Structure 1
Amino acid sequence: MQLKLALPKGRLMAPTGELLRSAGLELTGYDEQSRSYRPQCRDMPGLFTKVFHEKDIPIQVAIGNYDLGICGREWVEELLAKYPSSAVVKVRDLGYGRSDLYVVASRSDGLSTLDVLRTRAGAVSIASEYPNLAEQFALRHRLKRFKVFPLWGSAAAYPPENADLALVAQSPDTPLYPWLVPLSHVLRSSACLVAHRNSWRSRDLSCLLARLCAVSSVTESDHTPAGRADGPGTPAVSRAAWDSSVRLALPDGHQREPTLACLRKAGIHIRDNSVDPGRPGISVPGVSVKVIRPQDMPLQVANGNLDLAITGDDWLYDHLCRFPTSPVRKILGLGFGRVRVVAVVSGEMPVNSPQDLRDLLRSGRLGRLRVASEYCNIADKYARDNHLSPYRLVPTWGASEAFLPEDADVLIENTQTGRTLAQHGLKIIDTILESTGCLIGGTTGPDTASAREVVDSLVRALEQGIAED
């Protein structure tokens, strides 16, 4: 009998590997250097393991693709907040990867409790990558009117300019910014072992559970809740200064360095802010900068929270696939970060084009197509445009190559050369679009003539920098 265990990548990978070794389960290929998503366990030949982004693990366990999984408790609670009857069972707290979830506000807003917000006439806005927990929080605390902004990350950068509150995670090594004040503790989280409900009830999991439960939970020293980094108690840019300037968003993550290089070629210099990394300085007068996830930028521009943003063609297109009339447009292609967004299948699947997929569905050899992607809106449009019916979307949060072929049939993914896909036994059957970094803005532009002049000068500088490259 094969047992299936979903394992986390990222922050929980190293301590999870240590836990498994202590349980006598030595996995080959489960470490940060490995590019394998299917570690091998010689100590238990009947165990199949796969590596996922931890946010995907509760969902994969709940739908029955895996008998057991290890992930942060916050992602289990995020799933249960929206789908309380999900078939996922919390088996055991594993004691490592501790963090706390807090609802925070900007200290400059003068809030110390939720009482003022409960009686506010207007809607209270909450930004978070935990949107279901944020909504649950608002309902439990009887906020009369509220709206939740689902994010990919960097929620702490949103108050006070773009949200009243943020629901954020704080771990011992990531204290809160000093200008954020915690208003409510929502959840204490750590790594936990979860099981699919039917597997828990009807399958013999004892051979694996006995090993895992025989190991003492990894203990971590307690940390002081809601610790704050040293620094001033106000943001580097005031709300008034932000609102009166041209508001520019720059990407975090792997696009940060090529973005900064592109700006330097245009004679635009970004100054690091050690106190507030999310609000760096800029050499252009009249411009304020915020660092957020590129995935979130098109919606923030469309909502009027930003004037300009540097994101990718892929995320702009993903946004427009869902909101075709959204008031956001591409102003300038920047040329860096070139990738293709492609449709991918297992190398063993007998298809080489969307037409082949359609024929496979119509013949009945494939009952329903499972389409996995971080680009949910592109994936949905692609399936509809190519008449790949019936289909089901499988949203992912990273490590998407792992889903094929066991947990999805088609992957919509970006690639530079295609080599990594080929190394995982996958093949490209279609190219949907080519993407590079791009500057986006609202369709109407800023309200004032002075702001429009600043935008025009930024665009001219970038155009000149690209031309000289």
Structure 2
Amino acid sequence: LKPQNVVEMLHAGSRDVGFAGADWTAELDAHLVELLDTGLDPVKVVAAAPKELLQDGRLPSGRTLVVASEYVELARRWIEKQPFDATFVRSYGATEAFPPEDADLIIDNTATGATLRSNGLEIVDVIMESSTRLYANPDALKDSSLGSRIEDLVLLLRSVLDGRSRVMLEVNVAQEDLADVIEILPCMRRPTVSRLHGDQGYAVRAAVPRAALPELLLEVRARGATDLVVTRPSQIVP
């Protein structure tokens, strides 16, 4: 199913929960409840135009401009806020190919901007940011039994996403270095600390942000930690 169809089904109540992009939820003005932002498939909905059209980096205001987009409502709302007159042309894909012959500018989504640049287009405005999100029909949440199951679903999905963003770091450390190592561990609450066999120091475990791992490994080692082990949790349930 396309994201547009998922949004329409949720809005109509024929489905209780589903994944869709925030851009199409806004485009269709659907009255849904956002349950979880997965952060996946991040894009920006932007207005972009050929560099030759711009005047000091801005769109000209002295004439009527032609705007092409798949986003009918987002484009309409954006045009209403602009200081120039514009007419709208609906596209059904390959919107970046419209300028300059068939449109002056476009409104489209982009992840990196590479496609826009390859077509000689420059971003002039960021209309919104979007990603894949979990939505629910409001009536589904009002049902106590169904609402409870939806909450459980969100908990499990969030635990997988949290598991992807963290790693489990395990180190051994002598008693005299324990406080220094614990001080810099960016754990979720507090690290797990247990004595090693024969009172030969301590084992320390903490779920740390994956992005911080390279620098963290060097820092804890410099503070006396040894036998560093990194593993990936599949889920983290708070």
| TM-score normalised by length of structure 1 | 0.34
Give the Cα–Cα distance (whole angstroms) in 1 for the partners of residues 34 and 142 of structure 2. 18
Q: Structure 1 307/387 Cα, relative in aligned 2: closer, same or farther at 3 Å? A: farther
Give the 3-state SS of the residue equivalent to 1:444 in structure 2.
helix
Higher strand share: 2
Task: Describe how 1:389-428 pairs up with structure 2 within 5 A.
Answer: 389=85, 391-428=86-123
Q: For residues 350 and 434 of structure 1, what CA distance do their matches in structure 2 show?
A: 23
Q: Give SS of 2:77's match.
A: helix
Tell me the alpha carbon deviations over residues 6-25 of structure 1, each in whole angstroms, 9 at most, x when there is no partner: xxxxxxxxxxxxxxxxxxxx
1:417: how far off? 1.1
**Distance (Å, rounded) in 1 between the aligned partners of 2:131 and 2:19:** 10
CA distance in 1, matches of 2:40, 2:134: 11
Residue 155 of structure 2 corresponds to residue 460 of structure 1: yes
Deviations 1:250-288 (A, max 9, x none): xxxxxxxxxxxxxxxxxxxxxxxxxxxxxxxxxxxxxxx
Structure 1 runs of 4+ off > 3 angstroms? Answer: none
| Contact persistence 1:318–1:375 (CA under 8 A) | yes
**Secondary structure at 2:41's aligned position in 1?**
coil
Secondary structure, counterpart of 1:334 in structure 2: strand
Question: For the pair shown, which has the larger CA radius of gyration, 1 or 2?
Answer: 2
TM-superposed CA distance for 1:468, in Å, is 1.2
Q: Is the 8 A contact 1:370 1:394 kept in 2?
A: yes
Identify which of 368, 373, 379 aligns with 2:75: 379
Tell me: CA distance 1:463–1:385, structure 2 relative to 1, closer, same or farther (3 Å).
Answer: same
Q: Which amino acid aligns with 1:464?
A: S
Aligned-CA RMSD value: 1.7
**Corresponding residue of 1:310:** 19
Q: Distance in 2 between matches of 1:301 and 1:330?
A: 11
One-letter amino acid of the counterpart of residue 440, structure 1: Y
3-state SS of paired residue (1:338)? strand
Aligned residue number for residue 35 of structure 2: 331
Match of residue 346 from structure 1: 50
Report the CA distance between 1:445 and its aligned residue: 2.6
Rate the CA distance shift 1:444–1:352 in 2: closer, same or farther, 3 A. Answer: farther
Q: Which residue of 2 aligns with 1:294?
A: 3
Superposition deviation, residue 449 in structure 1: 2.5
Query: Quick check: 1:352–1:429 contact (8 Å CA) kept in 2?
Result: no
Letter in 2 for 1:345: A
Q: Distance in 2 between matches of 1:435 and 1:294?
A: 12
Task: Name the structure where helix makes up a greater proportion of residues.
Answer: 2
CA distance in 1, matches of 2:2, 2:112: 24
Give the Cα–Cα distance (whole angstroms) in 2 for the partners of residues 352 and 298 of structure 1.
39
Q: Distance in 2 between matches of 1:458 and 1:319?
A: 25
Please give the alpha-carbon distance, in whole angstroms, between the structure 2 residues aligned to 1:315 and 1:387.
26
> Residue 40 of structure 2 aligns to a residue in which SS?
coil
Match of 2:136 among 425, 438, 441: 441
State the 1:331 CA deviation.
1.6
Distance in 2 (alpha carbons) for counterparts of 1:313 and 1:462: 18
Output the amino acid matched with 1:382.
W
Letter in 2 for 1:338: P
Structure 1 unaligned blocks of 5 or more: 1-291, 321-325
CA offsets per residue over residues 95-130 of structure 1, 9 Å max, x none?
A: xxxxxxxxxxxxxxxxxxxxxxxxxxxxxxxxxxxx
Secondary structure at 1:388's aligned position in 2? coil
AA matched with 2:112: T
| TM-score, with length taken from structure 2 | 0.64
Work out the CA distance in 1 between the residues paired with 2:31 and 2:139.
Answer: 8
- Given that 1:401 and 1:421 are in contact with CA atoms closer than 8 Å, whether structure 2 keeps it comes out as yes
Q: Gapped runs of 5+ residues in structure 2? A: 165-238
Letter in 1 for 2:41: G
